[in-house]
Amino acid sequence: MNRSKLLFWLFLVLGASTASAVPFSYVYRFDPISYFRDDDRYLVRQDYQFHAIAGQIRTTTFDGLIVGSSLSGNLNPRIFEDGFHLREVRNASAFGAGLSDRIAVAQLAIRKQPSLRTIFFEIKPMNIEGACRYRSSRFPTYLFDKNPLNDVLYFVSADMIFISKVKRAGIGDFFTSNPDQAARWLEAHAAHVAGAPARMNSLIAKVRNEGPSHRPIDIDKKPMSDEARRQLDCGAEALFQLVAGNPTIRFVFFEPPEHISLVWRRYAGAAGSDSPAVKLAFLRRMRALPNFEYHDFGDRLADMSAKCGAFVDETHFLPAVGDEMQRDIVAGTARETEQSYPTRFRAMLETLDLPELCEVEH
C-alpha cells in the first residue's frame, strides 16, 4: 500500500473513532434508560416504553414481572406481591406489544434476573395466532437479543443520544421516579376515558342492530381455519419453549376481560371467531407443564364485562376492573384447564345477552 492510501485509511479510522467517541461519552454519562446503572429516574414516554423496560430489567431487582400490552398497563403490582408472596413485582407492559415482543421481554428478564420467580403473562387467542407475523414497529431488538455488539449499538443509537439530551435538560414529562409509571395509560388518555359511557352505548347499539347470527355449540367440532392453525402452531410452540425451558419460574398466564359487546359480536353476532378452538388447542399443548397456569377472563360474563363505566372501549378497562381481575387470579377462581373450558364456554353461551344502555350524563 502506498503512503497516500495508508494516510487515507489512517485518517478515516481516526475520524470515525473521534466521531463515535462524542455520542459514546454522552450516552454513557446520562445513561437515559438506566442500561448500566439505576439512578431512580425512569423514562415514561410511550414511544420509548420498550427502551425503558430494557433498562429496568438490567439495573433493578425484582422477583415478579407483569408482561403485557396496554391492557395490563394499569395493573397493580402490589396486589400480586401480596397475593403471591413476592418481594417486588415490576410492570413491563407496553402499548401495542405483540406476543413476540412479550416473549422477548420475558427472555431478557430471565437472563438478567436470577431471583425471578413468577411471570404474569397477558395472553389472548388472537395473540397466539399472531406470533409469527407481528412485532411492534417500536421494538428495539438490539436491547433485547443476545448480540454481543448491543452495548456498542446502545451508545451510538440516535434514540439514546436524543433521550440523553432530554435527560440532561430535565424535561419533566419524559422521566419519573416511579418505575411502574412507564406502563400506565390511564392518565395519558383522560379524554378517552371521559367519553367512555357514550362510546360503549354506541357499541352496544351497533351489535344489537346487527342481530344474532350464530352460536357455536361444540368448540371441539368447530373447524379452525388453515391460517389460524398455522399461526397457532408457531405461537403455541414459542410459548411452550419459553415455559418448558424455565421450570423454576411460575408462569401465570391471564386473559383480560372484554366488554360484552365484543364478546357478543364474536360468539353470537356477525364477526365469528376461531378463538375458542385456538384457546382449547393451546391449553392442550401446555397441559403437561407443571409451572403453567391459565386464568381466563376473556369469555367470562361476570359483572366486569357488562358493568356501566367499567370499560373505556371494547378492550380497555378501568383500574377497578384490573384490581378485581388480579384478586381473582390470586384466589384462582378463573383458572382454566383443557377439561374445564369446553363446559364453561357452553354455559357462557347460554347466558350471553346484551345489557341495557348505560345512562350518560349530559
pLDDT in tens, 57-76: 998 899 999 999 989 988 99
Q: Packing angle between helix 99-112 and helix 49-59, nearest 10 degrees?
A: 20
Calculate the average pLDDT of the chain.
79
Residue 54, pLDDT > 60, answer yes
pLDDT higher than 50, residue 96: yes
User: What average pLDDT does this structure show over 182-195?
Assistant: 61
Q: How many CB atoms lie within 10 A of CB 233?
A: 16
Write down the pLDDT at residue 244. Answer: 97
pLDDT at position 8: 43
Alpha carbons 37 and 300: distance in angstroms, whole number: 43
Distance CA 236, CA 127 (A): 10
Cβ burial 1-24 (10 Å sphere, 16+ → b, else e): eeeeeeeeeeeeeeeeeeeeeebb
**Which residues sit opposite 253 in a β-bridge?**
121, 294
Q: Looking at residue 232, what is its pLDDT?
A: 75
Nearest Cα residue to 54 out of 106, 96, 98: 106
Most confident of 29-43, 89-103, 212-226: 89-103
Give me the domains of the chain, ranges plus CATH numbers: 28-351 (3.40.50.1110)
Measured between alpha carbons, how far is 17 from 5 in angstroms, rounded to an integer? 18
Facing residues of 64 across strands?
A: 89, 118
pLDDT tens digits, one per residue of 110-148: 999 999 999 999 998 877 765 555 667 778 988 998 888
* CA–CA gap between residue 354 and residue 241 (Å, rounded): 39
Q: Which of 53-57, 64-68, 81-85 comes out lowest in average pLDDT?
A: 53-57
| Per-residue pLDDT reduced to its tens digit, 297-319 | 876 665 666 677 788 888 888 88
